[in-house]
């Protein structure tokens, strides 16, 4: 009996203990579920639910034949979480990372000693380096996938393409001008992660996909660009010029087929380049064009029917006083016909023609050809140029402006103007982008023939073409003459203005502006070199470049030769 009582009391004690434990848990559950529920569910949500930003891939830049000029490629950047690295490990971690990444140990140590949750150690690593960092397997040091811009053609068309920075934002060239099309917009995904930070796909995952960047297709042809750059490089080196530019344009559409400058830079290593190397001189730099500007005076005279082609002008045997200054020709001429004035590039002859036309007409035609105004090319930093209205001209301006002095022009303005002569009198807006397509290749936007205005009649344009053909056949542009194709153009040797005022006798801009084939032009080209040495004549320095480029490009474009003799140059 006593034994039974004893057992009952033991059972009762155990019961009480269990009840107490149960009550404790029930109380705890009630506490957690009611009083702390919001806080805890928030904490859990924070740990499991992650909002991921889905970065869009920047669109590619391609040439007119869809050959890639710029593309995005994934790379890894290494970062550290300093708070996860204990104080005693910091030194060894810095040692290991600095050894693999080739960084200064002190620099790495200073970064991981910061009281921060996140610090970059090194961004955009090569694959070998990122593999080496991964192999270290350091707790608190991780790799993050990012996209980096790569330019497979290196420095080819560098001034056109431009470049994008670390944050995938365009900084120069087409990368800057068409940034809004190229960069796309990010997407988001709300996802659930487990304790090991692996994504768990569940039915309630919400996602907004990123809108990928669009591909920009240029009017540039990679092969034509290469031909232009190859020839420009040769002449730039040969004549030790300060800078050089070349533009090749389709005169019927305004499409730029090639545009290059020297000095240049490697797009994959742009951070080491100087501003001087990165400047797109063909679009941003102004210079006095010299004799190439005479095409405007010739056009004005022909369009106004102010002179006859065989009308004679006395060229004063090389010296002519206008408004207090003595104008010289590079060779003394007595009497020249209108045609010969341009073939021989006589400054005095052109001035006499200009005197017949008057300053207002010269100014009007200069404006019509687009000088003193933006061409509207879709590249950043285009310069307007300098063209003063006649009321601001001095007494000598009538002998200066018609021969390309007292005016500031860009190479793109000149090639646009000569294209108007080549295509029968229409001034077109030059452009560099042909179309925009999405990743699937669907056309989003096309930039075909853009605004044009007639500046010359067809007949006048044909006469000017004949005169410019004569410049190459019989005049100063003989070095632009090719064996297989007829060419036409105008040489220019412009004296540069000294910083103290007055024209320099040692610094020149040598240029050649023309088109080919002369009868039915397919390409218009400008070649200009700043301060070539020791030779500085446009006809000797720039004209051969024009010829070489024109022949190679026309051959590449399968344009039939319009002259009998075969070109033998390799």
Return the residue of 9, 47, 110, 154 that touches another protein, per CB under 8 A: 154
Catalytic annotation, pick one of 155, 291, 346, 542:
291
- Contact call for residue 209 and another protein (CB under 8 A): no
Q: Is the peptide bond before 519 cis (omega within 30 degrees of 0)?
A: no
Closest CA to 546 of 256, 248, 290, 259: 248
- We find the least distance from the C-beta atom of residue 73 to another protein, in angstroms, to be 5
Return the residue of 47, 65, 180, 504 that touches another protein, per CB under 8 A: 65
Candidates 161-169, 218-226, 238-246, 406-414 — which segment interacts with another protein by CB under 8 A?
218-226
Q: What single string gives the DSSP state of each residue in 459-506?
A: HHHHHHHHHHHHHHHHSTTGGG--SSS--EEEEEEEEEEPTTSSEEEE
- Contact call for residue 483 and another protein (CB under 8 A): no
- Considering only residues 230-269, where is the footprint of another protein by CB under 8 A? 230
Of all helices (H) and strands (E), which one includes residue 282?
helix 281-284
Clarify whether 291 is annotated catalytic.
Answer: yes
Candidates 66-74, 283-291, 349-357, 366-374 — which segment interacts with another protein by CB under 8 A?
66-74
- Contact call for residue 428 and another protein (CB under 8 A): no
Pairing assessment for the beta strands 187-193 and 256-262 based on DSSP bridges: unpaired
What are the beta bridge partners of residue 160?
Answer: none
- Closer of 233 and 473 to another protein (Cβ): 233
Candidates 5-13, 23-31, 41-49, 153-161 — which segment interacts with another protein by CB under 8 A?
153-161
Closest CA to 98 of 74, 129, 119: 129
- Contact call for residue 156 and another protein (CB under 8 A): yes
Closest CA to 412 of 374, 386, 362: 374
Going by the DSSP 8-state scheme, the letter that residue 370 receives in this structure is T
- Closer of 4 and 203 to another protein (Cβ): 203
Closest CA to 375 of 551, 516, 256, 502: 256
Closest CA to 434 of 266, 128, 233, 215: 215
Residue 164 phi, psi (nearest 5): -115, 150
- We find the least distance from the C-beta atom of residue 557 to another protein, in angstroms, to be 6
- Closer of 162 and 385 to another protein (Cβ): 162
- We find the least distance from the C-beta atom of residue 186 to another protein, in angstroms, to be 17
- We find the least distance from the C-beta atom of residue 155 to another protein, in angstroms, to be 8
Candidates 145-153, 322-330, 424-432, 499-507 — which segment interacts with another protein by CB under 8 A?
145-153
- Contact call for residue 449 and another protein (CB under 8 A): no
Entry field: residues in the chain: 570
Return the residue of 28, 42, 73, 319 that touches another protein, per CB under 8 A: 73
Angle of helix 127-136 relative to helix 87-101, nearest 10 degrees?
150
Q: Which residues bind another protein (CB under 8 A)?
A: 64-69, 71-74, 150, 152-154, 156, 194, 198-202, 221-223, 226, 229-230, 555-557, 566-567, 570
């Amino acid at each position: 009996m006593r034994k039974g009582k004893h057992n009952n009391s033991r059972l009762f004690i155990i019961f009480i203990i269990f009840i107490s434990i149960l009550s404790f848990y029930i109380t705890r559950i009630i506490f957690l579920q009611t009083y702390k529920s919001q806080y805890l569910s928030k904490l859990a949500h924070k740990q499991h639910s992650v909002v991921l930003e889905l970065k869009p891939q920047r669109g590619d830049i391609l040439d007119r034949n869809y050959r890639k000029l710029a593309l995005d490629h994934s790379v890894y950047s290494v970062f550290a979480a300093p708070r996860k690295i204990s104080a005693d490990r910091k030194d060894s971690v810095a040692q290991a990372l600095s050894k693999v990444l080739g960084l200064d140990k002190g620099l790495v140590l200073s970064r991981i000693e910061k009281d921060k949750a996140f610090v970059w150690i090194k961004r955009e690593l090569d694959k070998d380096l990122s593999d080496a960092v991964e192999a270290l397997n350091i707790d608190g040091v991780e790799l993050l996938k990012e996209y980096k811009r790569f330019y497979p053609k290196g420095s080819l068309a560098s001034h056109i393409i431009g470049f994008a920075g670390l944050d995938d934002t365009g900084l120069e060239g087409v990368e800057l001008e068409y940034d809004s099309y190229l960069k796309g917009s990010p997407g988001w995904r709300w996802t659930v992660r487990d304790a090991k930070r692996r994504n768990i796909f569940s039915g309630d995952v919400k996602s907004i996909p990123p809108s990928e960047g669009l591909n920009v297709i240029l009017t540039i042809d990679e092969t034509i660009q290469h031909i232009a750059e190859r020839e420009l490089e040769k002449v730039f080196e040969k004549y030790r010029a300060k800078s050089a530019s070349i533009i090749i344009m389709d005169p019927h559409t305004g499409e730029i087929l090639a545009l290059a400058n020297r000095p240049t830079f490697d797009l994959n290593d742009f951070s080491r380049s100087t501003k001087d190397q990165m400047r797109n001189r063909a679009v941003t730099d102004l210079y006095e064009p010299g004799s190439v500007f005479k095409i405007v005076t010739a056009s004005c005279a022909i369009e106004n029917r102010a002179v006859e082609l065989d009308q004679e002008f006395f060229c004063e045997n090389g010296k002519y006083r206008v408004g207090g200054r003595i104008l010289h020709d590079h060779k003394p001429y007595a009497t020249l016909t209108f045609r010969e004035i341009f073939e021989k590039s006589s400054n005095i002859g052109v001035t006499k023609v200009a005197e017949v036309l008057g300053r207002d007409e010269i100014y009007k035609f200069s404006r019509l050809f687009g000088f003193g105004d933006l061409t509207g090319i879709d590249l950043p930093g285009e310069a307007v140029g300098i063209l003063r209205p006649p009321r601001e001209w001095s007494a000598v301006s009538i002998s200066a402006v018609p021969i390309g002095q007292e005016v500031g022009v860009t190479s793109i303005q000149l090639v646009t103007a000569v294209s108007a002569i080549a295509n029968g009198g229409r001034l077109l807006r030059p452009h560099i982008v042909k179309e925009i397509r999405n990743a699937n290749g669907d056309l989003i936007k096309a930039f075909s023939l853009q605004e044009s205005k007639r500046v010359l009649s067809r007949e006048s344009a044909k006469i000017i073409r004949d005169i410019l053909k004569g410049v190459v056949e019989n005049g100063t542009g003989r070095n632009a003459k090719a064996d297989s194709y007829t060419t036409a153009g105008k040489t220019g040797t412009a004296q540069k203005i000294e910083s103290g005022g007055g024209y320099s006798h040692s610094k020149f801009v040598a240029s050649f502006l023309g088109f080919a084939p002369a009868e039915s032009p397919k390409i218009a080209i400008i070649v200009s070199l700043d301060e070539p040495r020791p030779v500085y004549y446009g006809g000797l320095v720039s004209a051969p470049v024009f010829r070489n480029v024109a022949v190679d490009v026309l051959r590449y474009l399968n344009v039939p030769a319009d002259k009998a003799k075969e070109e033998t140059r390799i």
